[in-house]
A = this chain, B = another copy of it.
Amino acid sequence: MNNKKQNSALKVNEGIQQPPNINPYLKFKKKNKIQSPEFYVNGILEKDLSILSQAITIVESNLNEHRLIARSIIQKCLPLSGNSFRLGITGVPGVGKSTFIEYFGQLIIQNNRKVAVLAVDPSSERSKGSILGDKTRMESLSVNPNAFIRPSPSGCTLGGVARRTRETIILCEAAGFDFILVETVGVGQSETVVFNMVDMFLLLMLAGAGDELQGIKRGIMEMADIIAITKADGDNVLRCNLAANEYRNALKYLPLPESGWKPQVCTCSSTTGHGLNELYEIIQNYIKYTKTNKTFENRRKKQAKHWMYESMFDMLKENFLTNTNIKQLLKNYEEKVILNKINPIEAAEIILNRYYENFIKK
C-alpha cells in the first residue's frame, strides 16, 4: 500500500475525532456565517479565492438550506462559465498523478492560462474521510496565484461527488479559471463520471510495471484521448518508448472516440520536464480538431442534457425525503423491514403509493 498517502490519511482521520454522523458543515456554519448568494457571486467575479472556497464549501454541503443557496449561486455563475478547457486525468495510484499535475499545471500557467485542479475521489466507505491530501503534494502549484486546488469533497457517494464537482467547475470558471483539471483515482467507476464532465480525457500509465497490475480496464482505455507514459527519464526511457508503441498498437483495436480524434500516445517525465510541452501541444491540436468538427460543442451539449437529468433525479429524491409526511412513514417501514415483517421491495411500493396518493401538494 502507498504508505506516504496512508499515513497522512491516518493522521488526518485521527485528528478529526468526531462520530461519523456529525455533518461537517455544522462545524463550518459556526465558523463562517452564511452570506447571501449575491455575496458569493460578487466575490467569485472579483476573483476572490477565499470567497470561491467558501462558495464551494456551500456547494458541497448536504444541508437543505445550503443546497438552496448553492443552486442560486450556480445559476448566477452559469452564464459566466463554459469558456474553459476541461481535462480529465486518471491513472492508478503510483503512476505519479500529483507530481504530473504539479509540473503540468505550472506549464499551463506559463502559457498564460489559469488552472483549477479538482478531484473526484469517492471516499472510504467506513471512515468517510478523503484519502488524498493533494494540496500537500503539489507544493509549488498550490501557492501559485494563478492556480486553485480543491480536494474531493468527503463523505459522499460517487453520485454526490460528481454533482458537486460539476458545480465546482462552474464556480471556478466564473472566477476566471480557464483550464480545469479533474483528477480521479484510476480503475473504477469514477472515470465514467469524470468522462461525462470534461472535454478531453488523459490516461497516465507506467511502463513495464506489469500491465495487468495497473488494473486499467478496457473501458478506461476507450475513454482516453491521450495516453501519457510517465516517469520517462534515466534508464526508464527505453521501456517507456516500448510501452508507448505497445499502447499505440493496442489502440488500433479500440473504436475511435465519437469526436473522430485518433488517441495519441506520448511519454513524459515530471523530473526532467521531457514531453510536457509536447503533451500541451497535443491538447491544443485536440481542441482545434474538435472545435472545427463541432464535436467539442456537441459533447458539451450532451453533458448539459445529462446534467439536467441528474439534477432532476437529485431533486426528485430530495423532495421525497424531505416531505414531512413521508418521514414518519419511512421510520415505521424501516422498522418493519428490519424486523423482517415485510420485504424491502414491498415496503418501498407501499410507501411510494402513499406518497403519490396523499402527500404531494397540489
Interface residues, chain A, CB within 8 Å of chain B? 1-2, 5-6, 9-10, 71, 74-75, 78-79, 92-94, 122-127, 131, 158, 185-192, 195, 206, 209-219, 221-223, 250, 253, 255, 257, 301-302, 304-305, 307-309, 311-313, 315-317, 319-320, 333-334, 337-338, 340, 343-349, 351-352, 356-357, 360-362
Cross-chain contact A308 with B337 (CB below 8 angstroms) = yes
Q: What is the distance, in angstroms, from A137's C-beta to the closest C-beta of chain B?
A: 14
Cross-chain contact B122 with A189 (CB below 8 angstroms) = yes
- 10 further A-B contacts with Cβ under 8 Å, apart from A1-B214, A93-B213, A210-B213, are A2-B211, A93-B215, A131-B218, A188-B189, A214-B215, A308-B333, A308-B337, A312-B351, A315-B352, A319-B352
Q: Name A186's contact: one of B187, B255, B333 (CB within 8 Å).
A: B187
A-B contact list, 28 entries, CB within 8 Å = A6-B253, A71-B345, A71-B349, A75-B343, A79-B343, A92-B213, A93-B212, A93-B215, A93-B217, A123-B219, A125-B219, A126-B257, A127-B222, A127-B255, A185-B215, A186-B187, A213-B214, A215-B215, A304-B338, A305-B337, A305-B344, A308-B333, A309-B348, A311-B344, A312-B348, A315-B349, A315-B352, A316-B320
User: Chain A contact residues: over half helix, strand or loop, or mixed?
Assistant: helix
- Among residues of B, the one whose C-beta sits closest to the C-beta of A247 is B1
